[in-house]
Amino acid sequence: MRGRPAPLPPAGNPDYWQRAVKALSRKDPVLGRLIRASPNHALTHRGDPFVALARAIVGQQVSVASATSIWRRLEAALGAVTCDALAGASDATLGTCGLSRQKLAYLRDLARHFQAEGVAPGHWAAADDEAVIADLVRVKGIGRWTAEVFLIFHLQRPDVLPADDIGIRRAVQRHYFAERDAIGPKEIRALGEAWRPWRSVASWYLWRSLDVVALTY
């Protein structure tokens, strides 16, 4: 990896969290209600950027339970899920873990990028959000959504709104547009303008409103 890996924020709510909660509660009564319904919960992250991104790939388009099961099989097969272990494992070994052929290709490409310094985690702490996204989407299987989730949970950036996320869309429709049959990213982005510069915090509470288990990436 190019440069020394950037120091991770501590696992738990970042120092801006309480300021964001107060501001969002004051600006938006709906968010205020969601915030009050989920006290004392922390924004947590995985301790390693490769693991965080690999888990995001494994979790694409499957349930949380399925993703957890696949990940446990990977851990059992590899001992520890690292870029070197994954790159060195055979297709037959990885295939027994429940990975689709497409996800297997994505994970191998992620490992290659980390081994060949094709992504630069050592520079992410000083880079702006769009620069980190541009770095990540060069990896097969990592699109803007995965990069945005990584920014929120792993780098703990304060103002990211994953408007294409199905959970965000479901929560926004439930709490703001209950009379509508469907909404899209356009409505979410317009609504989110009032949440700046704390859209990551708003997103977290919207996710929480749908699931009693705190998200971790």
Give the pLDDT score at 120. Answer: 81
Give the pLDDT score at 217. Answer: 52
Cα 140 from Cα 102, distance rounded (Å): 10
Q: How far is CA 135 from the centre of its chain?
A: 15
Give every residue of the chain whose pLDDT is below 70, as ranges: 1-12, 42, 45-46, 212-217
Give the pLDDT score at 12. Answer: 61
Give the pLDDT score at 53. Answer: 92
CATH number of the 49-153 domain: 1.10.340.30
Give the pLDDT score at 216. Answer: 55
Cα 118 from Cα 110, distance rounded (Å): 9
Task: List the chain domain ranges.
Answer: 17-44+160-208, 49-153
Give the pLDDT score at 8. Answer: 44
Enumerate residues 6+ apart whose C-beta is below 8 A from 81: 50, 51, 54, 71, 74, 75
The helix/strand/coil state of 106 is helix
The helix/strand/coil state of 98 is coil
Preceding amide of 39 cis, omega within 30: no
CATH number of the 17-44+160-208 domain: 1.10.1670.40
